Each structure stands twice: as C-alpha cells, then as structure tokens.
Structure 1
Amino acid sequence: MRVGTQFTGTLGPGQTGRWFTHSWPQEWHVVWYFIPTSPQSGAPQIEWETAVERASATAVTYWLTVKNISGAQINFEGRYAVLN
C-alpha cells in the first residue's frame, strides 16, 4: 500500500469546496480521505464525497467534495491510499 498527501485546503464555517486530481492510472484502487489539521475537540469537523470520472481508456480523474460541518475555519489535508 502507498499513502500520501495530494493537497491541503482551508474552509470557512459551513463552507463546501470541490477539488479534482487527474491522470491516476485506471488499474489502481485509490481511497481518498481527509484529515483536519486544525484542532477542535468535541465534534466532527468535516465530511466528504468522492466522485470518479473515466478521463480516458487508461486514466481516472477524482472529484473530491469536502464540507466543513463545524462552526470554525478549518485547515485539512487531502490524503490518498493506493491499495494495490
């Protein structure tokens, strides 16, 4: 398994953002997850969704939507794990 950070971001309270990352090999099994880097105890801070576009016969584009569900600005990392 390979893991890494693809990007970092900032969202204001209640804000939603959308990012994309392209040219991933279609044969890779990639899992996306997001980790807040702004400490705030007592409640969840973010939620996310992943959508997939088959950009070509050999490449995939991932569309990543992240929502700040807290009442404060947050910073986060967009991370991935390649499982195969």
Structure 2
Amino acid sequence: MWTNVQYTGSLGPNASTRLTTYGWPAAWHVVWYMMPTSPQSGAPQIDWDVSVERYNSTQVTYWLTVKNLTATTLSYEARYAVLG
C-alpha cells in the first residue's frame, strides 16, 4: 500500500467543490479520503463523496465532491491510498 496527497485546497463556510482526477489504472484499488488541515474541535468539518467513471477499458476518472460542514473557512487535503 502507498498513500499520497492529490490536491490541497480551502473552502469557504458551508461551501462545496468538485474535483476530478483522471488516468488512474482500472486494476488499482484506490481509496479516497479528505483530511482537514485547519484544526477545529467539537464537530465534523468535512464530508465527501467519490464517484467513478470508467474512461476506457484500462483507466478510470475519479470525481471527488468535498463539502465544508462548518461556518468558517477551512483548508483540506484530498488524500488517496492505493491498496496492494
């Protein structure tokens, strides 16, 4: 297994964004997760959804939707793990 960061960004209060990343091998098992990098205790900060497009027989595109659940601007990382 290996991990990395695909995107870094920030979101305004209660805002959302949609990211795409393409050309991933369809044979890989990829897990996407978002990590807030702006500390704020007491409640969840981010929600996310991952959708997948089979681009061709060997590649996929991931569509990542990220939502800020707070009333303040936050920074985040879109991380992935490729499972062996």
**TM-score if structure 1 supplies the norm length?**
0.98
Give runs of aligned pairs for residues 23-34 of structure 1, distance below 5 A.
23-34=23-34
One-letter amino acid matched to 2:26: Q
C-alpha RMSD over aligned residues: 0.5
- SS in structure 2 opposite 1:79? strand
Number of paired residues?
Answer: 84
The alpha carbon displacement at 1:23 in A equals 0.2
Alpha-carbon distance between aligned partners in 2 of 1:4 and 1:42, rounded to the nearest angstrom: 27
> What 5-or-longer segments of structure 1 have no aligned partner?
none
Alpha-carbon distance between aligned partners in 1 of 2:40 and 2:10, rounded to the nearest angstrom: 14
Alpha-carbon distance between aligned partners in 2 of 1:2 and 1:39, rounded to the nearest angstrom: 25
**TM-score if structure 2 supplies the norm length?**
0.98
Alpha-carbon distance between aligned partners in 1 of 2:79 and 2:20, rounded to the nearest angstrom: 13
The alpha carbon displacement at 1:9 in A equals 1.1
The alpha carbon displacement at 1:47 in A equals 0.3
Alpha-carbon distance between aligned partners in 2 of 1:2 and 1:59, rounded to the nearest angstrom: 19
Alpha-carbon distance between aligned partners in 1 of 2:60 and 2:66, rounded to the nearest angstrom: 19
> What 5-or-longer segments of structure 2 have no aligned partner?
none
Counterpart in 1 of 2:78? 78
